Structure 1
Amino acid sequence: MTIIKLNATHSTNSYMRQLLATKELEDYSVVWTLNQTRGRGQMGTVWSSQPGKNLTISIYKDVSWLGISNHFFISIVVSLALIQTLNELMIINLKIKWPNDILSDNKKLGGILIENIIKNNQLKASIIGIGLNVNQTNFDNLPQASSLINITGRVIPLEEILDRVLINIKASFLKLQEKHAFDELKKNYNSTLFRLNKPSTFKDKNNNLFAGYIYGTDKQGNLLVLLENKVIKSFGFKEITLLY
């Protein structure tokens, strides 16, 4: 396994894409930077991180064995691997805010940005971007953000977090390759969803607010919401935002 450590880069996902344009990468190759200057989140959001304080990485993963219709299971196994990592660090009240933000006590600890490489309508590989707030204490204008140091009161070496994350991601992907693992992984993911079966407020792409209950996710990774008229409707992540 290759780990490329950078003092700074705009985006680890973008850096890895540039590498792939010039050479093949070993499975589980990692790009790790201490200062990500233009980190990206879901739907074009910006991931802001203090230099040297947090874990900002991208992992190259061969997923050519996974059918394209099951692409959301990449997000499932990575999310569950981060939950496992934080459980090992005794972080409590962990939830996944759909599709793949990681929360503790309703505050965001990390996020995932997965960019799939598809050729001839087949999955080839994934670039898995992970940002995890570790030793940063202040989050200006981000009242819903927190970090491991704020929760545990201790500085945690980034190398330790990286090792744990990689071990758990490898274990999760091995699980995904087992026969009949899909149902178990999906059940574990759904059971960890933030605000599952609780009255929640959502905003659609036209900024209209509506109420509903999170019911789970479908095979494509869409969020299933039980609406006030007792109808269960599925929403893609670009169609709906779950408000805190």
Structure 2
Amino acid sequence: MLIVKLNAIDSTNSYLRKLSAKEIIQDYTTVIAKEQTQGRGQMGTVWSSEASKNLTFSVFKEMSQFHLEHPFYISIVTSLALLKTLQFFSISRLSVKWPNDILSEDKKICGILIENVIKQNNINASIIGIGLNVNQTEFKNLPKASSLKIISGKVFDLDEIVHAILKNLEHYFLLLEKGQCHILKNEYEKYLFRKNKPSTFKDVEGSIFSGFIKGISQSGNLQVLLEDDITKEFDLKTIELLY
């Protein structure tokens, strides 16, 4: 697999998307930046990271052979690859805050941004952007952020972590290619943050309500048991899980 290292770039996702539009690129081509000037998160949020201390990178994944009915499985695969990697490096109390923020000890250490390339109504490829807090120890005005160094007290080799993530991505995408969707979904649900615990949510109109996270649907919607014993599904744009 090809790994491209850059000193600074606006966004590794944007760089990889432009590259893939101009030429045929190898599966799992990875672009790593020491510094991202316009890193992005879910729903247009900004991903802020100290240069050379963390991992900000994007992976190109060929998807045309998958014929995916539910694109959320790309998010599931990526989340599981990261969780598996972090377990290997002895990071404790891991969970995934729906849809795909990786937490340790209830603090965010990793964000994922997936952008799909659509051709003829099918996902032709995915650009998987990952921002992982590794050796940074100060997060101004981000009380819910943490890093591998804060959690473990160790300094990590960034290259070693990237190679482990890519290896685990290949493993979980192979399961997806084999149609093992139920295994992937069940494993993802085991790590769901606040599953079966009383939780507070906010909807698009700003209303606050309570419920219990029960799991996700095949399409990736969050399944919440409400006070009237009715389980309702919510998609990413309609609900926010509050801490």
Tell me the TM-score range normalised by the shorter chain. Answer: over 0.9
Counterpart position of 1:30: 30
Deviation at 1:24, TM superposition (A): 1.2
Does residue 237 of structure 1 match 2:236? yes
2:136 is paired with a residue whose SS is coil
Query: Within 5 Å, which residues of 2 pair with 1:112-191?
Result: 112-179=112-179, 181-191=180-190
Counterpart position of 2:221: 222
Instruction: Note the alpha carbon deviations across 1:162-217, whole angstroms, 9 max, x for none.
Output: 111111111111111224x1111100001110000100000111111110000100
> What code does the residue aligned with 1:204 have?
D
Counterpart position of 1:89: 89
Contact 1:11 1:39 in 2 (8 A): yes
RMSD: 0.8
Counterpart position of 1:79: 79
> What code does the residue aligned with 2:229 have?
K
Counterpart position of 1:197: 196
Deviation at 1:66, TM superposition (A): 2.1
Q: After alignment, is 82-91 or 68-77 more displaced?
A: 68-77
> What code does the residue aligned with 2:227 have?
E
2:49 is paired with a residue whose SS is coil
> What code does the residue aligned with 2:9 have?
T
Instruction: Note the alpha carbon deviations across 1:25-67, whole angstroms, 9 max, x for none.
Output: 1000001000011110000000000000100000000111223
Q: After alignment, is 79-88 or 170-179 more displaced?
A: 170-179
Q: What is the TM-score with the length of structure 1 in the denominator?
A: 0.98
Within 1, Cα distance between the matches of 2:43 and 2:25?
A: 27
Contact 1:68 1:121 in 2 (8 A): no
- Work out the number of aligned pairs and report it: 243
Counterpart position of 2:59: 59
Structure 2: runs of 5 or more not aligned = none
**Runs of 4+ in structure 1 displaced over 4 angstroms?**
none
Within 2, Cα distance between the matches of 1:234 and 1:67?
A: 24
1:46 is paired with a residue whose SS is coil
2:35 is paired with a residue whose SS is coil
